[in-house]
C-alpha cells in the first residue's frame, strides 16, 4: 500500500497526489511510489487525463537532501537514474497531464512539474532549480526540459542563480502556463484536464508523441514521425467516428470511445 503517493480517479481524471508532509520532499520511497502511480494511470482505461498535485500548501520542495547528502559518487550514480526515471514516467504518460502547483515547486519538485504538459500555479507560488546552491546541478530533467521550455538563456539564468521565481515572472517567461488564486489551483487543473475525458484518446497520445518526439531530433525526422503517427490513426475507431460525425453534423460533436 503506497504511503506517500496516491492515484485517485474521478470522472475520467486521475490525480497523482503527493502526501509526504511537511514539504513533499522526494525520497527514494516517494519516487518509487510516483513511478508506480504513473504506471497505474497509464494502464487504466478510465484515466483520460492526469493531474499531479501536492496538496493545498505545497507541490514539492525538492529532493530529500538529508537522504542523498551522505552518498558518495557510486551511490549517487545509482540513485540519479532512479529519480530521473520516476520523473520520466510522468513525462511518458500518453494522456494530457497538468501540474497543479501550490506553494513551492523547487528542484526535483519543479522537475516533476516540468514533466507535465501544462503547469498551473497559485499567485503566491515559487518555482525554480536551486540545486546550484548545494554545489550541484539539477539531475532529473531540470537542465534539459527547462531549456526546451523557456530557451537556453532563460534556463541558464534560473539554473546558474538558483533563485526562486515568483508566479508572475514564471508566467511571463513560460515556466508556468496559468496563474490563479491559491485556493483555485486544483479546480483550474481539473477544468483543463476535464476537456479531454471524452476526447479521442489515441489521437491525443499521437499528438503528444509527435510533439515530444519531434523535439528530440531535427525537423526532417520530426516530420517523418508526424506522418507515421498521422497515418496510424486511420486504423482507429475514433477516426471513423470523428470523420463521419463531421460530415453529418459539423465539427465538435463526435462521441469518441477512446479506441
| pLDDT score, position 79 | 85
Active site residue 111: yes
Residue 34, pLDDT > 90, answer: yes
At 102-136, the pLDDT tens digits run: 999 999 999 999 999 999 999 999 999 999 999 99
Residue 68: band (very low, low, confident or very high) from pLDDT cuts 50, 70, 90: confident
The pLDDT confidence band at residue 13, using thresholds 50, 70 and 90, is very high
Task: Please indicate, yes or no, if residue 259 is contained in any of the structural domains.
Answer: no
**Does one domain contain both 177 and 219?**
no
Residue among 25, 38, 49, 63 flagged as catalytic: 63
Q: Looking at the predicted structure, is the pLDDT value of residue 142 above 90? A: yes
Is there a single domain that holds both residue 46 and residue 140?
A: yes
Give catalytic status of residue 108 as yes or no. yes
Is the distance from CB of 69 to CB of 175 less than 8 angstroms?
no
- State whether 50 and 169 are in the same domain: yes
Report the percentage of the chain scoring pLDDT > 90: 88
pLDDT of residue 106: 98
Per-residue pLDDT at 145 = 97
In a domain, 18, yes or no: yes
Dist. CA 109–CA 101, nearest whole Å: 10
Tell me the pLDDT band of 1, cut-offs 50, 70 and 90.
Answer: confident
In angstroms, rounded to a whole number, what is the distance separating the alpha carbons of residues 37 and 17? 9
172: CATH: 3.90.226.10
Looking at residue 95, its pLDDT comes to: 98
pLDDT for the residue 169: 98
Of 200, 132, 192, nearest to 164 (Cα)? 132
What is the three-class DSSP state of 101?
strand
Q: What is the pLDDT of residue 188?
A: 98
* Whether residue 238 sits in one domain with residue 117: no
pLDDT of residue 123: 97
Residue 80 has pLDDT above 90, yes or no: no
pLDDT at 255: 92
Query: Among residues 108, 128, 242, 258, which one is catalytic?
Result: 108
State how far the alpha carbon of 97 is from the alpha carbons of 56, 65, 132, 195, 241, in Å. 19, 27, 28, 12, 25
Q: State the Cα–Cα distance between residues 142 and 130, nearest whole angstrom.
A: 10
pLDDT interval class at 63 (50, 70, 90): confident
Active site residue 139: no
Could you tell me if residue 255 is inside a domain? Answer: no
Among 103, 111, 142, 188, the one annotated catalytic: 111
Domain membership of residue 236 (yes or no) is yes
Task: Give the integer Cα–Cα distance in Å for 123 and 93.
Answer: 27
Does pLDDT of 216 surpass 90?
A: no
pLDDT tens digits, residue range 149-170? 999 999 999 999 999 999 999 9
101 and 17 together in one domain? yes
- The residue range of the domain holding 234 is 201-249
Q: Are both 221 and 105 inside the same structural domain?
A: no
Q: Kindly state whether residues 223 and 153 are assigned to the same domain.
A: no
Q: Are strands 165-166 and 126-128 parallel, antiparallel or unpaired?
A: antiparallel
Lowest mean pLDDT among 32-41, 44-53, 73-82, 143-152: 73-82
Same domain, 207 and 175: no
pLDDT at 31 over 90: yes
Whether residue 225 is predicted with pLDDT greater than 90 in this model: the reply is yes
Per-chain mean pLDDT for the chain: 95
Amino acid at each position: 500500500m503506497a504511503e506517500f503517493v496516491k492515484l485517485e480517479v474521478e470522472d475520467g481524471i486521475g490525480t497523482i497526489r503527493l502526501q509526504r508532509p511537511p514539504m513533499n520532499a522526494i525520497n527514494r520511497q516517494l519516487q518509487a511510489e510516483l513511478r508506480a502511480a504513473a504506471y497505474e494511470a497509464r494502464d487504466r482505461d478510465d484515466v483520460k487525463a492526469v493531474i499531479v498535485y501536492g496538496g493545498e500548501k505545497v507541490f514539492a520542495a525538492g529532493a530529500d537532501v538529508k537522504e542523498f547528502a551522505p552518498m558518495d559518487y557510486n551511490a549517487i550514480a545509482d540513485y540519479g537514474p532512479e529519480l530521473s526515471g520516476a520523473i520520466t514516467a510522468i513525462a511518458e504518460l500518453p494522456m494530457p497531464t497538468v501540474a497543479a502547483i501550490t506553494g513551492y515547486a523547487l528542484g526535483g519538485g519543479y522537475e516533476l512539474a516540468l514533466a507535465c504538459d501544462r503547469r498551473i500555479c497559485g499567485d503566491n507560488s515559487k518555482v525554480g532549480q536551486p540545486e546550484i546552491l548545494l554545489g550541484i546541478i539539477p539531475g532529473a530533467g531540470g537542465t534539459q526540459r527547462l531549456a526546451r521550455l523557456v530557451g537556453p538563456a532563460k534556463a541558464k539564468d534560473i539554473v546558474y542563480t538558483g533563485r526562486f521565481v515568483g508566479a508572475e515572472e514564471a508566467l511571463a517567461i513560460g515556466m508556468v502556463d496559468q496563474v490563479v488564486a491559491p485556493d483555485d489551483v486544483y479546480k483550474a487543473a481539473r477544468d483543463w484536464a476535464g476537456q479531454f475525458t471524452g476526447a479521442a484518446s489515441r489521437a491525443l497520445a499521437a499528438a503528444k508523441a509527435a510533439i515530444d518526439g519531434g523535439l528530440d531530433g531535427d525537423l526532417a525526422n520530426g516530420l517523418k514521425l508526424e506522418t507515421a503517427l498521422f497515418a496510424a490513426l486511420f486504423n482507429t475507431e475514433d477516426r471513423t467516428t470523428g470523420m463521419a460525425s463531421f460530415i453529418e453534423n459539423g465539427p465538435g460533436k463526435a462521441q469518441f470511445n477512446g479506441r
